[in-house]
Amino acid sequence: MPTRKKRPKLAVFKFASCDGCQLSLLDCEDELLLLADAVRIASFAEASSRVLRGPYDISLVEGSITTPHDAERIREVRAQSRVLVTIGACATSGGVQALRNFRDVKEFARVVYARPEYIDTLATSTPIADHVKVDYELRGCPIDKRQLLAVLSALLSGRTPSIASHSVCMQCKLRGNVCVMVAHGTPCLGPVTHAGCGALCPTYHRGCYGCFGPAETTNTGGLEWALVAAGASQEDIARTYATFNTAAPPFRRAQEEQLVQIRLKEGRRG
């Protein structure tokens, strides 16, 4: 049977982010040169000065949209991309910088900059899918490099990438871990968090803090029982949801539920 004919063009684009997700590609030390044989790396500014013009067969997009200019730029990227894959929490949910969405961004700018007027920024940090159509999403802060390779191999072979979207718990059990919540009383977001990391935190005896964002099904209200039983306060729960995927709707709702309860409690006390 004929092998693949044309080497597809791969491009990597960056928006507001820490670079960690695209670095995952360079962290595939064993596969990097093989990948370079399988695709034409058309644009990957972190690694190469070369820029080939679009259109691109596969575009990996890292980072969230936080400036008016970026909101424009992502449309251009989409127009140039056959398959667009967002990589990481910033691109898929707005990332940690989306903490600004629920506060006064001017206030934030004042904390960091003496002359905030120089800073041109939007009041929100939003996921790519809020701006353009996204074909596949890779979750995680950062993404898992094995998943990235699996997605690239799938796309190169015309297969639907298999990106398990169930809970972290399933992967935890596949590894044979002992549940940190049931056996150690450690609060853990694993039951509502999207798989992909291989249940890293529980493997290291800590509770999952949700860096892969919400799983396909999230009963955060149900989970509250277990978190409280494990000694988490409502403030702790609210803060934990408010980190790397703070703007992902299920996590956002979970924070708000906690905050409402805290306010009610304070009201009763006051």
Partner 1 sequence: MPVVLAAADLDALVQALAGRGYRVLGPVARDGAIVIDDVRRAADLPIGLEDVQGPGRYRLERREHGAFFAFTVGPHSWKQTFHVPVERLFQIRRHKEGFSVIPDEAPRQRIALLGARACEIHAIAIQDRILIHGEHPDPRYAARRSDVFVVAVNCMRAGGTCFCASMGTGPRAERGFDLALTELVEPGDHRFLVEIGSDDGAAVAAELPVRPANPEEIGAAASVSERTAAAMGRRLDTSGLKERLQKNLEHPRWDDVATRCLACGNCTMVCPTCFCTEFEDTTDLAGETAERTKRWESCFTLGFSHVHGGSVRSSIKARYRQWLTHKLAGWHDQFGTSGCVGCGRCITWCPVGIDITEEAAAVGLPEKDG
Partner 2 sequence: MNVSSAPDPMLPEPLRITRAKREMHGVFTFELDVSARGGFPFLPGQFNMLYPFGAGESAISISGDPHQPDRLEHTIRAVGAVTRALERLGRGDVVGVRGPFGSAWPIREAEGSDLVVIAGGIGLAPLRPVVYHALRRREAFGKVALLYGTRTPDDILYRKEIERWRGRLDVEVEVTVDTAGSDWRGNTGVVTKLISRAAFDPGRAFAMICGPEIMMRFCARELERLGVSLDRIWITMERNMRCGIGLCGHCQFGPSFVCKDGPVYRYDRVQDLLLVREV
Partner 3 sequence: MARTIKVDYLARVEGEGALTIRFKGDKPSAVELRIFEPPRFFEAFLRGRAYQEVPDIVARICGICPVAYQMSACHAIEDALGIRTDGTLRALRRLLYCGEWIESHGLHVFMLHAPDFLGYEDAIAMAKDHREWVVRGLGIKKAGNAIVAALGGREIHPINVKVGGFYRVPTRAELSALLPALETALGDAEMCLAWAARFDFPAFERDYEYVALRHADEYPFCEGRIVSNKGLDIDLHAYEEHFAELQVPHSTALHSVVRGRGDYQCGPLARFNLNFDRLGERARDAAERVEFVPPCHNTYKSLLARMVEIIQALDEAIRIIHGYAPPDAPAIAAAPRRATGYGCTEAPRGMLWHKYTLDEAGLVEDARIVPPTSQNQKCIEQDLWQLAPTLAAMPHAAATRRAEQAVRNFDPCISCSTHFLRLAIERED
Q: Which is nearer to partner 2, 4 or 50 (CB)?
A: 4
Count of residues in contact with partner 3, rule CB under 8 A: 65
Q: Residues 5, 6, 53, 111: which binds partner 3 (CB under 8 A)? A: 111
Length of the chain: 270
* Binding status of residue 69 toward partner 2 by CB under 8 A: no
Q: How far apart are CA 114 and CA 108, in angstroms?
A: 11
Q: How far apart are CA 197 and CA 20, in angstroms?
A: 15
DSSP 218-260: --HHHHHHHHHHTT--HHHHHHHHSSTTTTSHHHHHHHHHHHH
Q: How far apart are CA 64 and CA 126, in angstroms?
A: 6
Q: Which is nearer to partner 1, 219 or 233 (CB)?
A: 219
Q: Which is nearer to partner 3, 85 or 96 (CB)?
A: 96
* Binding status of residue 158 toward partner 2 by CB under 8 A: yes
Q: Residues 117, 160, 225, 269: which binds partner 2 (CB under 8 A)? A: 160
* Binding status of residue 49 toward partner 2 by CB under 8 A: no
* Binding status of residue 267 toward partner 2 by CB under 8 A: no
* Binding status of residue 239 toward partner 3 by CB under 8 A: yes
Q: Which is nearer to partner 3, 63 or 191 (CB)?
A: 63
Q: How far apart are CA 78 and CA 94, in angstroms?
A: 18
Residues in 19-48 at the binding interface with partner 1, rule: CB under 8 A: 31, 34-35, 37-38
Q: How far apart are CA 198 and CA 196, in angstroms?
A: 6
The one of partner 3, partner 1, ligand SF4, none whose footprint includes residue 217, by CB under 5 to 8 A per kind, is partner 1
Q: Give the chain's radius of gyration (CA, Å).
A: 20
Residues in 124-163 at the binding interface with partner 1, rule: CB under 8 A: 149-150, 152-154, 156-157, 159, 162
How far the first Cα of the chain sits from its last, in Å, is 76
Contacts of 87 (CB under 8 A, 6+ apart): 21, 22, 24, 60, 61, 62, 138, 143, 148
Q: Which residues bind partner 2 (CB under 8 A)?
A: 1, 157-160
Q: Which residues bind partner 1 (CB under 8 A)?
A: 1, 3-4, 31, 34-35, 37-38, 149-150, 152-154, 156-157, 159, 162, 164-167, 169-170, 173-179, 181-184, 188, 190-192, 205, 216-217, 219, 221-223, 225-226, 229
